[in-house]
Amino acid sequence: MPAPDLDATLAAFLADPDPALLSPVGPTPLLAPAVLRLARRLPQARRALGPRLADPLALALLGEGPAPAEEELGRAVLSAVAAVEGGQAVPDPAGLEARAREAAGRGEACWWPLAAQVHASSVVAREHQGRRAISEQELPFVFPGELDPVVVDVLAVGARALPALHVDWARKLADVAAEVLVLDCRCLGLWFWPVLRSMATERLGKPVTALRKARRLPPGGLGLAAAYAARVGVPWAPLLEGAGPADHLLAALAIVGDRPA
């Protein structure tokens, strides 16, 4: 089967975007932020989508406006992500991560890794804390789909810290972190996006490919898996076999956006 035409998928979406895929509220509250965060890297996407957005948070995620003040946890985390990606300061990153970690303890896991990434990007002491944590050569036992503080630290500081670790230890951390790939794809959080290229990618090909058989993935989940597959250098097209339009769109935004300018 030929690989999907991602350029055609992207062109069709930009010509007539589905409003439901652009709003962080409504029927696809997790999908829209992923769409907008990936779209901000493509000038043609920003030009096409910006005039269609009214929500200040959506505009910030696209890179077309300042990050607004938000109270609800999910929107507050997404606003902080938009602020960091846009070079803005985040008022209370430590408090935000504390709220997100507490929510994860109640089973709402989607926001903690993102809040930790924001915190580590904003506060040097948090980055140093994460570096120390992943340097201690004690591996946690992580159930599939369960967040462990060490895994969160890998996602938060790994882009800068993993290349400095011994190669064998970095591989072991990649193996442990891979257990939450499925949770990332359920949350559409792009948790691995900033750290993937710094990880031992040869350890991630098999678990990323295995996401094709994962259960309870939302629309876009297989598209995110395909994006990760492309980044770690394994075939991505099989992950889109039988996938829906949202999956093809996320894959298109990610893979086309990764091409050299």
3-state secondary structure 63-132: CCCCCCCCCCHHHHHHHHHHHHHCCCCCCCHHHHHHHHHHHHHCCCHHHHHHHHHHHHHHCHHHHHHHHH
Q: Phi first, then psi: give them for residue 122, nearest 5 degrees.
A: -100, -25
Question: What is the predicted pLDDT for the residue at 140?
Answer: 76
Q: What is the mean pLDDT of each run of 10 residues along the chain (261 residues)?
A: 89 94 75 96 97 95 97 96 96 97 93 98 97 89 79 96 95 93 96 94 94 94 98 96 95 95 71
- Amino acid type, 54: A
Question: What is the predicted pLDDT for the residue at 2?
Answer: 74
- Amino acid type, 190: L
Question: What is the predicted pLDDT for the residue at 6?
Answer: 96
Output the DSSP codes for 175-191.
Answer: HHHGGGHHHHHHHT--T
Question: What is the predicted pLDDT for the residue at 32?
Answer: 95
Question: What is the predicted pLDDT for the residue at 27?
Answer: 60
Question: What is the predicted pLDDT for the residue at 238?
Answer: 96
Number of H helices, E strands in the chain: 14, 0
Half-sphere exposure of 100 (CA within 13 A, CB side): 27
Question: What is the predicted pLDDT for the residue at 144?
Answer: 65
Question: What is the predicted pLDDT for the residue at 3?
Answer: 83
Question: Model confidence over 111-169: pLDDT tens digits?
Answer: 999 999 999 999 999 999 999 999 998 887 777 667 999 999 999 999 999 999 999 99
